[in-house]
Structure formats: C-alpha cells, structure tokens
Structure 1
C-alpha cells in the first residue's frame, strides 16, 4: 500500500484535495461531526435523511421492508425508492453510525463522493492523456468541485454520477481503441444499478461521446461498424446485468413518476441564451436558483480558457474540432431549448433543481480543456489574443448587464472572477512552462474552486444538528414504547411533524410520505378523503373519526403545548383526541389510543367493490363507511350546519358562506369575517376548506389566516384540494369562534362548510365491523397471514393499498384480488371459514432476475471461450 501510494501520489491528491477543501468548509460551518450544525438542508433534510434512517433499519432489522413498506404513506412498493435513493454502495458507511449521528454519517458520505469524483477524473486523465502528473490533481479538483456538484450537494443521491461518468468515458475510449468492453460494461452496469435516473443521462451522453470519439478515431468503415456493434452489444449487456433492479423499477414508475410524463412541448428558449454565461463566474448560486435558475456551469478559469482555445489549436484535426463543436452546440442547446431539456430529463420537467444533466456539460468543458492544455505549445500568439477576446466579450456582456443577475451574482463575485481569470490567462499562456508553474496553477485552481464553494454555499441555510437529533428522539421514544407493548398491525398518527417522511425516520406505519417514486393512487385517495396531497406527497393531518377508524390509526402522538419546544412543530388541531384514551406523556409528547380503529383485515359487505362517485371528501368518507356496512349510500354520517352568527369587517355581508367571494371594501384597511357557533351536542365538528382558501407556506402564496377562539388554527398549509379540519369535540354549550382574516384583497370561500359528525351512531356501527376482524397469525412488511370468517354477501376487506405485486392465497390456493375505493385490496369469497395469506413480490422482479442471470452466464461463457482460445 505504501509503494502504491508513493507511485500514485497524484491520484491520492486527486482524492484528497476535494475531500479536504470540502471538509474545511464543513468545519467552518460547524457541521456535525465538527460542530452543532448539520449538512441537512432542503431535500437532504426533508427526504434523504429519513430514507437513510430507513436504509439502516431495513438492512439491520427488517429485510422484508426492502420490497414493501407500510412506512410509505399507507403502504407502498420500495424497489423504485431503493433504485432512485438508496442503492449507492457508499450508503453502507451509514451502518457505522447510530441514528443520532446520522447527519455526521451523511457528511462523511458527501466528502467521500467529492473525493471519488476527483479520483475518478484523475484516473481518466492518467490513463487517456499526457497530462503532467503534477497537474492531474489540479484538473481533478476542477472537476470534483465544479458548479453543478456544489449546487447539488444537497442531492447526495445524484453525486455518484460524478465519479461514474469518467469511468464510462474511459470505457468508451478503450472500446474504440482496443475493442475491449470490460471497463465500459462494468462502469455502465454499476451506474444503472446505483441510480437509474442519472444513469439515463449518462447513457444519452455515452451515445454522444461514442459518436464523437469514433469519429475522431475513424480509420475505416469496417472498424467503425465493428466498434458500433461492440458498443451496442456491451450497452445491452450492461442493461442485462442491471435488469434485476431496472425491470421492477420500470414497473414501479408506471404507477408513479411515469404518469406525469409530458408529451407536448413548444420549441422555444427557456431564457435568453447569454444568461448562461453568468454561471461561469464563481459564487453564482443561491437558494433562489434552486427552483428555476440557469444551469450551474462553473468550472474555473483554467478550464474555461483552455476549452475556448481548443477550437483554435491547429494540432487537433479539423474533424475533431468540428465534432467537438457539434457536441458543445448540442449540450448548449439542451440547456436552453425546452424539448431538448425535457428529453434529458426523461420527458418530465424537474420540480426544482433544473438542468440536472449539466454535470455532463461541466465534464465536457473540463475534459476538452485538458486536451487543449496539453497542446498549448502549438497555439500561436494571435490565437491567444482571439481566445482572450472571446472571453473578454463574454465577461463584458455579463458585467454590463449585472443588474439582471443581481439575485444571485454580486459585483464582488464578478470582480474576483475577472482578477482570477487574468491570473489564469498569464499562467496558462505565458508562464506555463516555467519551473514552478505547476504549483502556481494548482494553488490558483484550489483557491478559485474553494472561493466558489464558500461564496455559493454561504448563501444556503442548514438545519441545526440538535434540532434534528432532539426531534428524532422525541418521536422515536413514544413509538418504541407503543411497539414494545403492542405487536399487532396498526398505524400511528401525530399532530406535529418535521418532515413528511417521519414514519421512515422512526420506523413505524403512518400515513405520510414524500418522494419522487410515489404511487399516484395514494395521493388521489388522500384527495378523496380530505387530506393534504400533491404530486409525490401525502400528509395525514386532517383525519376524522371515520378516517382514523378506517385506516387503522390506532395510536396518536400529540405535542402538548409545543410553543416553548422548538423541536415539535404543530401540524394540526385535533380536538377529537379527547375521545381517545391517553396512555402517557413524556418530553412534551402525549400518547393516545383510539378504541374505534378497524384492523388491517376484516369482513365487510361486498358492496365495497362498487364505484364511489362522490366528489367532496365528506360524502366520500360517508359512502365508504356505508359500503362497508352494506347500507344505503344515502345515509349521512356528517350533517351540514349553519354558524349561529357572523360579523364582517371591511367586507360585504354574505348570507351564504359556501362559495361566497369576499372583496375588501377599503384595500388599505384590515378585513376579516368573524363566525360563531355553539355546539348543541358533544359530537365532533369539522370545517371543510377548499384549495382557494390558501393558508400558504409563504407570505406570497397565503391569502388568509384562520383563528379559532383567538389562536391560529393549526393546519398543514400546502393542499391543492378540499381538506377537512377538526374544530370541536365534546364542546356542548361552549361558543366556538372562527376568525377569517384576509391577507390579500379578496378571497373565495370555496367549499367552506361546517359539519356535525354523528359520533354515537358511528361508535355502535364500528363495533359491528370490529367484531368481524380477521385473526392475524403472522405479518411483516411484505406478508399478512391469518384466518377469517365470511358470511353471506361479505368480502375479505383490507386497508393494504392495491398493487399488482400483492398475491392472495386462500386455503393455500391462488385467489384473485380486487380493488375497492380505488385504493385497497379486497377479495370476493363465498360464506365459510378461510386461512388466507397475502404476500408481496415486486412486479417484473422475476424476469429481471432471469435476465441478469442469463447475462452473467453469457459474459462468463464469452470470457471462458476467449481464455481457452488464447491457451490454444
């Protein structure tokens, strides 16, 4: 090892320089393990950290959840989630860290991926170019700390593409030059396994790069045809090796992300092309650039200078320069034209983090720039002047229009960038061959890339580590107490939250989820029953007595007086908790047990298979319950009632509230509507809020504030459909005041209706359904086994979300499953007593395993025959 490191010191530095630079920055920001802050921000803090907690739990405690998990909202497949978020081999490092130190483990993973990006690019330079060994670490640092990876650091799941891309390029060049496919085959197969989404982009570029390199190395049609066949064949073999994960992932996408595919788009620029140039300056990134900024292309002055000079250097044949210009034009057009941008993103425009493929453009600029750097001796003086003039023109264009970039680019960034550019020009063009030029270039590169790190990431805020750790402990402790005392199947709800993936963080069955691989049926069901939902997320924050019962929400965690406790952010108001049994309270968290919950499997009326046509959530919930009971859908469990009184301030008086349009009389004065009712019974009371009543996640989107008895009504603010909120329970004779305060000039009271729930009648009927519970003998994340007694006109009913991956055995024989309420699994059975087993096997996993196995045999057979042929 000592000899290896000594002889490959330049590769060691290629890994260490990006690693150390980023470690110094993280230490400067006091991120754990260096301090009390954390690396968690945006999606890293809202998604990935919870998935990493699930990763640890699945590997160490519950392997059955690798295929399916009830922590994914009400339940969902997991192969798609693994393939997008969790299959990087670097994730294994997390097994060394306890849950409370997970943020530290994520930081170490991030540093390693930075280092591997530098190492991979340095290795590519060493094997395929004549770069001075002393300069390889400089070029590796340019690549490993380019603008794309800095801007997307929080998307740790994408960073593996940075160290895999140079290996794929290395494989293509070896394939064209020698006919050997091993490097390309293995690197592409690994990329497909690690992250299919980024692999898709790498695959597109591999086609482009193969065409480019095969053109530059063209000798004959026969050689070109032979290389093309090898390239196509090895690409197919790489896909075959990864088929065991690609095919089930494809099946998962068909019911999730693929349903959002865009099929029509206009040929137009997404922004004025010259604006792309601003991203070549350091520090040209901040939070505002995440949702809809321009491509992050910072590569440093040296790479930018030499890339520009490449097209003037006579040492390169015209064919190569023309081919490189075409590739450059294609990449540039892809980052500006909508259809090309859409194609790179698998026919779906990104929600946040635009131009996700621009890491390929960064690679291309640095890679071509390195080729030019190694041939600068043939660059004449006039060519240097032309290069400088091109760069100066671009810099002047941005400088003169700097006000247009003021939201992310400062005068300081531009000034320092120009100074560093001048220094780089002097070093590259006129000082390059002196004794200490390599050290000077290395210092310049490290300084410039480090400055970009500091000036870019200083614009981003991060979650403190105690905030994450303390919240996780406050959530996990009551969950573990529940799980220690109750081994049956149930779901847990809560009135506070940190993220929509809290169930993954604390390893429990819940109703919340947020990911890019979420089945669309679940958000649709949440919409139907009045819960917040969106493309890729659900939040079970607005449960009624009826929906809590239906969905097996047996336990509830409530934040008691969360205001002084910064770790427990209020999610929802739930007066109905006074109908549940309080079990204990610890660390501001109260645990309640719901006596009205239905089990995961029970017998109900076979009317459940009839379609429900209701479009409002109150009616939809009533229709579900009536179908379960086999009663007429005309029977109401909720009754609309009127408010007792209403007063309007700076608003016209309204006789009918639902659908009313409120308009301020005086735009400069406050406007509000005060509504009062006094419950005449101890029943539960609910208020429906249409999506036009926007409580808002920001001041810009918010158009109303709602107060109950003088206190803000806790409600998850992001919802796109009508939601149901609980406003009273056991409050007979107590006045309830609802204050609607406008924050904009007008407000549409869409679906604004008050309902009374019939608790006593509900309690008697739910006991009837509970008496028909199945006896569950055995269950885990992917299996449910037990006994059930079916009577006339009844069906086996479960609240397991329907999926083609679920299979039902009745008395040991395969039995068809049916979907009820467009969401759950049920089965028609004749009267009798049955043993049933419901088990999950991912769709297309079996053919995927067969294809992967066959591919391994083909490759093994090929090399075996080749070896024997050599011996002969």
Structure 2
C-alpha cells in the first residue's frame, strides 16, 4: 500500500463519517446534541469534564471532587482514564484552550463536541477496518465497503449516543484480527501483542469481550484455512498463549488497577432466571443493537460465495454471533456472567463487514441467475418479515417501512448489476451499498435514538436550565465559596436525579453516579449506617439522609434546597445564610473539624447489633475501627416503638403484612411525649418489601420521599432495611401506593443532639492542612494526647502514610474513612495516594515489554 492510497482512504473515511452524522450535525446547528439524556449527561460529559480538569492540572491519581473522593484509575478506569482516544482528545482540546480558541471546557462544551469527536473516531475506525479487510481480501474498494459496513452500524451510534467510551472497543477488533492473521500466516506475534496490550490498557471490560472474540476467531480460523502454508495448531497455540501472557504483563499498570476497582465495587448477585434463548428482537428493521445490512442478507443466498474461504470464515462467525444475539445466557457471559447486557454486537458488525468485503471481490463471477435467486429470496424475506412484525408489533411502522425501502433499493441495484456488467458498475454498486448504509444509520439516529431514546431532550437550553445546571444554582454556590473559601467544605445539593451535579457545578458534594464505586462507601450507605439516598440504586450514593450527625462528622458544611421543597428536608441545626429567587443555602452550626482526634475506640463487631443512631453516637464519642484494641462499651439508644401507638390508614396490617387499599395508605405511628424524649428528630427503622414483582414505588414518611426499585430491576440493591430521619412530630406517617407489602421490624429512636452539641463545643485540635494533587500534608498538635486521628476522606487501597518521617499505619475508621494512630505532641503527617499496586505493576509492565521485544526479535531471527 502506498501513501497515496492511504491518503485517499483517510479522506474518504472522514467524508463518509461526516455524512453518517448528517442528522446530528443538522440538530447541532439547532442547539441539540449527540448525547443521551440519562447516562450521557449524568456520566459521560461529567466524567470528561472532571478528568480533563484533573489531567490538565497534573493530577492523575486522586480526585477529592469525585463523590466523597476516589481514585481516578481504580474508579474511573472503566470510563475514560486510560482511553487512548480520550487522552488524544484531551491533548487537542488543551491545545485549543491554550491558543484561546476555546474557553474552559464545561459540561456544555463536552456535549457540543460529542458529534465532532464521534466523526473523528468513526473515521479512524473505518480506516483501521479497511486496512484489516484489505490484508484479507486484497481488494481496496471491497475492503473499504466492508469497513463502512462495520463502522456504519447501528450499535456504533447507539453506543456513541448513550455511552461514548463503549465505541473504543471498535478500534481494537481489526488490529486483533490482523494480529491473529500475522500469527497464522507468518508466525509473527508482534502485532498481536500490540493489539492485545492496547485493548487491555484502554478498557478492561471491553478487553474481556474482545479477547473472547479473538478466541472465537482463532478457532474458526484454524478450521477454515485460507492459505496453504499456515502455522500448525501447536505453533498457533504457542504463539497465542505467549502473546496474550506478554500482553497482560505489558498492560499490568493499567489493567490490574482497573480490575481491582471493579472487584472492589459492590453489586448484588443477579438472581433472576436467565433464559438460554429468546426470540425477542427484530434484526432486519428496528433492533437497538444490530440491523443486518440488506447486502449481507443477499450475499447469504449467493451460494457460490461459500467456496471462498475468507467469505466462509466471516459468514460462519456471523452466524454464530447472530445466534448468540438471541441468547440472554450469551449476553450474560459477555457481561461477565452477570445480568444480560447486549453490548457485544459490534463484533457481529465486524464479521458482517468482512463477509461483505469478501463477497464484493467475487461479484464479477456471479451469473444473472444467482443474483436473481438471491434477490428474490431477499425480497421475499423483507416483505414477509415486515408483514409479520407489523401484524404482531404495530410500533415503529415508519422505521420498518424505511428499512424495507432501503433493502428494495439494494436489491434493485444488484438486479441492474446482473444485467449491466459494465466496467464501472462494481464501483457504482459499492457506492450504492455505502450510501444506503449512510441512509440507514441516519434513519436509525432519528427514529431509535432521537425519538425513542429521547436524545431530542438534550439541548443547550436544557443543559443551561435549572433541571441540570442553572444560573441561579451556580450563583448560590459561588456565593457560598466567596463567603467561605474552605477548600474541603462539602455541600449537600444535587438537581433532581443528577448525582454528579457536584462535578458539573464545581463543588465538593455528597453524591456520585458511577458504575464502579468504593465498596466501603456503598457498604456504609447500605448496611453500616443505613443511609437512605432518596432513590434506590446500585451505582449511586447521594446525600446523608438529612441526618445532622453524619453531616457534622463527614464535614457537610452546607445544604441547598429549592424554595418549593419541604421544610423538613433541612437537617437539624442548619441555619439559612443565603438565598435567591428559587434556592436557599443553609450552614451547619454544629460542624465538627475536618481533622479530629479521639481517644476512645469502638470495634465494628461491638456495634454489630446496634441501631444506626447508636453507631452515629459512637463516631461522635470516639472512633469506630474494624479491630479496636480495647472494647469500649457501645453507646445505648432506646427503642421507643413499644411506647408508641400504631394506626392504619386506608390499609390493614397484621403479622408484618401490610395491605394498602387506598391510593396512598399505610401506618401512623403516634409517638410518646416529645418533651420526655427531648426529641429534635426521630429515626424510624423498618424492613420493607413490595410483594409485587415488577413495580417501582414511592415511599413517604411524613415529608420525606424516597423511591424503591421493582423486584425485577437489575439495579435493585437488595437492601430492604430502611432508616428514615424525620423532624420530631407527634405523628409519623408511613405512606405507600396501593398494594401488598411486607413491613416488619419497626423501631423508633429519639435524637436530642445533646451529644453532638457537646462535641461541637470541644476545642478542635490545632492542624494545618495542605492538599496538593495526590498528597495531603497535616501538621497536627495532639495536645490532648489522643490515640487516633480521623479525617472525612474515604479509606481506599492506595493510600500510604508517614508520621514524623516514619511509615505509619492506616486504619479504616468510621466504617469507610481514614484513621491514623498518632503520638502525643506534634505529628507531621503525609498521606500519599497512588493507584493500587502502581509501583509493582509499572515494574511488571516494563519487564514484560522488554520480554516482548526480546521474544519478537527472537521469532524474527528464527524465521529469517
């Protein structure tokens, strides 16, 4: 291949990519963007914003602004941290910002740039796929047609619209196939090692899927031999095994840390039945993940093609992947044996592209009869399929009609080709195939992504609205920062269900939404302190349940609410300090210092059966450790439910079974004399399960509202023990929608906050704090001779500590945070965070890179 050919392919790839994005480019001019309204806005643009800011400030390892704080590699490695295309994007954007062509990139910028980033990525995917297919079919135009079939697949645009980083996986499949071919044909492993290493570094999750595909390809490729002088089975096994082992070693610095973060996440086991087979998708017209190109359907019935070994290879793998597409069990296997997720169909798009590329090279040898037979069968299939689908599913008729029209157009072009085999017609034919592919994906973008997937909701006006990132909200946050420059202060605020609002609006918060989170923090919410997040979810945490003790312990300094919100939402002891037209800001009058020292230690085991309020008191009176040396007696709180009266409202309640007969019914708890309890708040705890299998429902406790997932949801936590804080009132009303529930283990506790207020009056330790990137320096004077220091920074593998120049000991304190044993007097403490196993894995990567170079050179010498 010469440079001229390379430039032509590059230019054509960019041109095709632009045309494939025509719909979204048009909408971009109207202020609407190629970003999903849910994960796209909640995760993709926010994590890009966060990582861009951290990377360009030279901070690569830890972010205090990610939820309550978290490792950039371990918790964001699944997204963009090691994405090579994102890193390239960061470099380009940073250059544009440095030249003052653009301003500071915010969430709006990343939404606006999405379509242009996608154009660049798709062009690169087409070029890479063209090179792979050209090596296999030795026909430049046919290879380009196959590459376009691969790139212009509906799953590419689905992934880009909803989860952009998913599309990185497209980049490495052609390289993996090329690497396998080099092993098979030339017995050279270098390219395979490079391809495997890149996919492992880029994203561990899709590396898993891609390596499964590599295995499938290697098996089929051994059975279907293309060249005469191919490597033997033993030679292939040896080269594959060594190459993959070397690749894992080279990628260790990225792969190990990301996998550790995944394993240190907390997800309930998926316990629903998974079927082996389910014919539930329309792959000819309206599937969300794969729509078979009409040219591929036609080629299936040109039976002479099967004599070509390359075509047979790709069509055979395609057949297997089509079958797997209809298997929830296969979808589960590709998702790590978890809930079925259909994310692997880009592999099918690649093999279909390969089949089309191989078929195009044989068209000149196909007779009229063969073309007419294939065209007749294809037309029959499309017309019958449309009739059946509309008969049983009347939805998306316009989309089905458009797809039939495109199929008929391809069939017509092939019939014309059969009767007009002029010299230029193969070029016209393949241009028509590419053009129809462009029409298909633009139609898919409009019907499936825009209308059904709600991408039409993502606009400049929405992003700048109060529902996402409003001016009034930013104004209030900036006023808080102006009056209080404390860099560690946390503000409890998020818009609606946007848990990543703190990232969007540039403040330290108590909420985050990410597929991978710190397991200890999730356990803190779900089990240790039983904090309700106002929305059940396995991949989020949010707020502190309006519980003042927790705000004070975890440095929750401010609280923001909308003026239309309920007064009871404001935690006890928070005083209004700022407001504007629609929002109010409150300051915690009982805030405890960021650095606390304590002498009393409670073990987690001693508090195992204690209620959440008693655990809060333990964290106020001292420090809770996994294994405390001494056994301090746990604080006691009294359950007063026995002194309370229960009354049903539009419901019946017997032996823990609650039947709500009205639209909104339940139980009223009439509490005993509040003066006797000195209650400012009540904590009411209970076990709640909805007996209906598939209903999401709302729970209200007085003014407090929270939502619970259906029993069939894959995002259900499985935690049914709830603790709700409500301001002290004579009556506590538990309200649920009409239905059948299990409601048991009712407990009620009164909180007077005397302990918190006493603690707040104590003299705080003298501490100077400096946090620079991944290093936190604390100069502490321990004049009270306390034994422990605790800070509201999440405990996470990767933190190292020195105290007065000597290596110190880190403790997991207060269930999820950092505690450090300290000495009397002055303590100079340095905390440093590096991704788990970074030093070891960097050494491993360096060693394996050298081994790979030596191995490839040795193979080259043996082959020469």
Instruction: With the length of structure 2 as denominator, give the TM-score of the two structures.
Output: 0.83
Matched residues in 1 for 2:753 and 2:664: separation?
A: 38
- 3-state secondary structure, aligned to 2:681: strand
Matched residues in 2 for 1:671 and 1:200: separation?
A: 49
Does the 8 A contact of 2:17 with 2:122 survive in 1? yes
| CA pair 642-547 structure 1, distance change in 2 beyond 3 A | farther
- 3-state secondary structure, aligned to 1:74: coil
Residue 94 of structure 1: CA displacement? 4.8
Does the 8 A contact of 1:554 with 1:597 survive in 2? yes
Residue 155 of structure 1: CA displacement? 0.9
Q: What is the match of residue 406 of structure 1?
A: 393
Does the 8 A contact of 2:552 with 2:590 survive in 1? yes
Q: CA RMSD in A?
A: 4.0
| CA pair 722-627 structure 1, distance change in 2 beyond 3 A | farther
Q: From 307, 313, 316, give the equivalent of 2:308.
A: 316
Q: What is the match of residue 317 of structure 2?
A: 327
Alignment of 1:163-242 (within 5 A): 163-214=171-222, 215-217=224-226, 219=228, 223-242=232-251
- Note if 1:428 corresponds to 2:432: no
Residue 670 of structure 1: CA displacement? 6.8
- Note if 1:633 corresponds to 2:626: no
Alignment of 1:823-838 (within 5 A): 823-829=816-822, 831-838=824-831
Alignment of 1:543-582 (within 5 A): 543-561=546-564, 573-576=568-571, 579-582=573-576
Does 741-750 or 511-520 show the bigger shift? Answer: 741-750
Q: From 4, 24, 27, give the equivalent of 1:26.
A: 24
Matched residues in 1 for 2:646 and 2:252: separation?
A: 65
Q: What is the match of residue 602 of structure 2?
A: 608
- 3-state secondary structure, aligned to 2:305: coil
- 3-state secondary structure, aligned to 2:801: strand
- 3-state secondary structure, aligned to 2:346: helix
- Mind listing any 5+ residue stretches in structure 1 that lack a counterpart? 286-295, 563-569, 730-734
Q: What is the match of residue 806 of structure 2?
A: 813
Does the 8 A contact of 1:641 with 1:755 survive in 2? no
Q: What is the match of residue 12 of structure 1?
A: 11
| CA pair 176-395 structure 1, distance change in 2 beyond 3 A | same
Does the 8 A contact of 1:75 with 1:801 survive in 2? yes
Residue 542 of structure 1: CA displacement? 0.8
Residue 157 of structure 1: CA displacement? 0.7
Q: What is the match of residue 160 of structure 1?
A: 168
Does the 8 A contact of 2:491 with 2:508 survive in 1? yes
| CA pair 448-105 structure 1, distance change in 2 beyond 3 A | closer
Matched residues in 1 for 2:668 and 2:390: separation?
A: 46
Q: What is the match of residue 702 of structure 1?
A: 697
Does 627-636 or 425-434 show the bigger shift? Answer: 627-636
Q: What is the match of residue 524 of structure 1?
A: 523
Per-residue CA distance 1:196-253 (angstroms, 9 max, x = gap):
2112211221222233334423546865544443443333333333221112223222
- 3-state secondary structure, aligned to 1:745: strand
- Note if 1:368 corresponds to 2:355: yes
Instruction: With the length of structure 1 as denominator, give the TM-score of the two structures.
Output: 0.82
Q: From 617, 620, 630, give the equivalent of 1:622.
A: 617
Q: From 746, 753, 770, give the equivalent of 1:759.
A: 753
| CA pair 267-722 structure 1, distance change in 2 beyond 3 A | closer
Q: What is the match of residue 685 of structure 1?
A: 681
Alignment of 1:388-537 (within 5 A): 391=378, 395=382, 398-399=385-386, 401-402=388-389, 406=393, 410-428=396-414, 430-431=416-417, 433-434=421-422, 435-436=424-425, 437-438=428-429, 439-457=431-449, 458-461=451-454, 462-470=457-465, 471-472=468-469, 473-483=471-481, 485-487=484-486, 489-494=488-493, 496-527=495-526, 528-529=528-529, 530-532=531-533, 534-537=537-540
Q: What is the match of residue 253 of structure 2?
A: 244
Does the 8 A contact of 1:175 with 1:227 survive in 2? yes
Matched residues in 2 for 1:429 and 1:329: separation?
A: 25
Q: What is the match of residue 342 of structure 2?
A: 355
Per-residue CA distance 1:247-271 (angstroms, 9 max, x = gap):
22232223126x7677x99884241
Matched residues in 1 for 2:611 and 2:623: separation?
A: 19
Matched residues in 1 for 2:392 and 2:205: separation?
A: 31
Residue 463 of structure 1: CA displacement? 2.9
Per-residue CA distance 1:356-396 (angstroms, 9 max, x = gap):
11110121122112212221344456655664576467546
Q: What is the match of residue 579 of structure 2?
A: 585
| CA pair 573-19 structure 1, distance change in 2 beyond 3 A | farther
- 3-state secondary structure, aligned to 1:303: helix
- Note if 1:147 corresponds to 2:160: no
Matched residues in 1 for 2:733 and 2:805: separation?
A: 59
Q: What is the match of residue 796 of structure 2?
A: 803
Does the 8 A contact of 2:789 with 2:820 survive in 1? yes
Residue 714 of structure 1: CA displacement? 4.7
| CA pair 411-422 structure 1, distance change in 2 beyond 3 A | same
Matched residues in 1 for 2:311 and 2:856: separation?
A: 37
Per-residue CA distance 1:691-731 (angstroms, 9 max, x = gap):
637899x99412555664xxxx45466684444444337xx
- 3-state secondary structure, aligned to 1:313: helix
Matched residues in 1 for 2:501 and 2:442: separation?
A: 35
Per-residue CA distance 1:307-352 (angstroms, 9 max, x = gap):
x1466425425xx6775565345424433445543332223225xx
Residue 506 of structure 1: CA displacement? 3.3
| CA pair 112-717 structure 1, distance change in 2 beyond 3 A | farther
Q: What is the match of residue 334 of structure 2?
A: 344
- 3-state secondary structure, aligned to 2:354: helix
Does 611-620 or 673-682 show the bigger shift? Answer: 673-682
Q: What is the match of residue 88 of structure 1?
A: 83
Does the 8 A contact of 1:68 with 1:782 survive in 2? no
Matched residues in 2 for 1:622 and 1:183: separation?
A: 60
| CA pair 474-187 structure 1, distance change in 2 beyond 3 A | farther
Matched residues in 1 for 2:770 and 2:817: separation?
A: 21
Does the 8 A contact of 2:190 with 2:856 survive in 1? no
- Mind listing any 5+ residue stretches in structure 2 that lack a counterpart? 97-101, 625-630, 710-716
Does the 8 A contact of 1:796 with 1:826 survive in 2? yes
| CA pair 808-664 structure 1, distance change in 2 beyond 3 A | closer
Matched residues in 2 for 1:221 and 1:444: separation?
A: 37
Residue 547 of structure 1: CA displacement? 0.9
Matched residues in 2 for 1:270 and 1:424: separation?
A: 31
Does the 8 A contact of 1:240 with 1:855 survive in 2? yes
